[in-house]
Amino acid sequence: MTSPAAPNGPTAPIHPGALTGPHLPAREPAGHKGTFGTVAVVGGHASATRMMIGAPALSASAALRAGAGLARLVMPAPILAQALVMCPSATGTPMEHDHATGLSIHASEVVGSLADVDAAVLGPGLGVGPSERKLVLAALRGLNCPIVLDADGINNLPSTSAGHPLPGRIVMTPHPGEYRRLAATFSEAGTGVSDLMSHDPVDPLRRPAAAKALALATGAIVVLKGHRTIITDGREVIINTTGNDALATGGTGDVLSGLIAGLIAQFPGPAVQGADHAPARRHLLELTVLAVRVHGLAGELWRQRTHCSAGLLARELCDLLPAVIEPLRARTPVQA
């Protein structure tokens, strides 16, 4: 796969017009649903005071709209059926639940049920608490597939993870609020990464340095969401220029996490060879950059088709992903 990064240096912006040819391998004509990868989405929350159902369903829908063959929703048992109504093409794995507090689980059992997936989204709508934190840590340590760490997957990271690279192949997708919460958590740990607090995840001129600092602190590929989303592996910093303010609405971040995982599941890239993680990490960065660009272009396509500046629903964004991705496989223009 050709890198979508611009050739003019590590902070050069990516221009929408750069989509001039296929950046993705051709889809296997004789393939089946198992050929194109399985994405698991671990999230959702059901307690006496709060319900969060839609976020995991949106992520699963986006993974399927990105071309993944299968999606699996891993959610608290009381809300799994509702989420499957929202995303009927997915399958479901229930997690044990306590009505008062939410999750009541054996984290190792949940992780064990995901041994066959090709990519995972961890955190949409999960909630924050001891059980959720235990699940996040168990998944990070136990899953062998790439993980997109989103929303409460990020919020549940404990201070003890500060200064220690996260295990495995991780893409972390914070918005500025989640960045600040994590920076505060790491600062409380009293480690050398406390300087994250000095970075501004909102200021356009300082956002690249903020994202890079978080990538270096965690070892993850960081997607710092917002106007001109920043993608970095801690070395190369890429500024996305697609998208518009119609995307500033609830659920579009869940779409992005599922889109990233859907591309990863389809195109696993080179295997890690011994201690050499560089080729696999580079491939993961390229797919992440491409997913962010596609996400923005889908927002632009929605505006072209509706002639509206606001009112986009996240599920509509999911439905536009195939039209934006297809030109990456064949030299055909996106039709408004």
Q: CA 150, 263, 241, 277 torsion: positive or negative?
A: positive
* Structure tokens that stand for 132 in this block: 């959720």
The mean pLDDT of 42-64, rounded to a whole number, is 95
Q: Quick one: what percent of the chain has pLDDT higher than 70?
A: 86
- What is the predicted pLDDT for the residue at 20? 39
Tally of helices (H runs) and strands (E runs) in the chain? 10, 14
Q: Is the pLDDT of residue 233 over 90?
A: yes
pLDDT band, residue 188 (cuts 50/70/90): confident
Which range among 65-69, 181-185, 187-191 shows the weakest confidence by mean pLDDT?
Answer: 187-191
Ranges of beta strands (E only) in 8-50 are 13-14, 38-42, 45-46
Which range among 14-23, 31-40, 157-166, 310-319 shows the weakest confidence by mean pLDDT?
Answer: 14-23
Q: What is the pLDDT of residues 137-178, one digit of tens each?
A: 999 999 999 999 999 999 999 877 766 788 889 999 999 999
- What is the predicted pLDDT for the residue at 32? 92
Could you say which of 3.40.1190.20, 3.40.50.970, 3.40.50.12780, 3.40.50.510 is the CATH number of the domain covering 36-329?
3.40.1190.20
- What is the predicted pLDDT for the residue at 160? 73
Tell me the sheet residues that pair with 91: 72
Please identify which residue in the block is written with the tokens 């168990």.
138
Q: How many residues does the chain have?
A: 336
- What is the predicted pLDDT for the residue at 114? 94
- What is the predicted pLDDT for the residue at 19? 39
Instruction: Give rounded-to-5 percent helix, strand, coil for the chain.
Output: 45, 15, 40
pTM: 0.90
What phi and psi, each to the nearest 5 degrees, are found at residue 168? 80, -165
Q: What is the pLDDT of residues 254-295, one digit of tens each?
A: 999 999 999 999 998 877 766 667 888 999 999 999 999 999
- What is the predicted pLDDT for the residue at 266? 95
Secondary structure element (H or E) that encloses residue 73, with its range: strand 70-76
DSSP annotation of 17: G
- What is the predicted pLDDT for the residue at 139? 95
What phi and psi, each to the nearest 5 degrees, are found at residue 221? -80, 125
Q: Which residues of 179-190 are buried (b: 16+ CB within 10 A; e: fewer)?
A: bbebbebbbebe
First vs last C-alpha separation in the chain: 26
Going by C-alpha positions, the residue among 143, 310, 149, 153 that lies closest to residue 219 is 149
- What is the predicted pLDDT for the residue at 3? 37
- What SS3 state is found at 151? coil
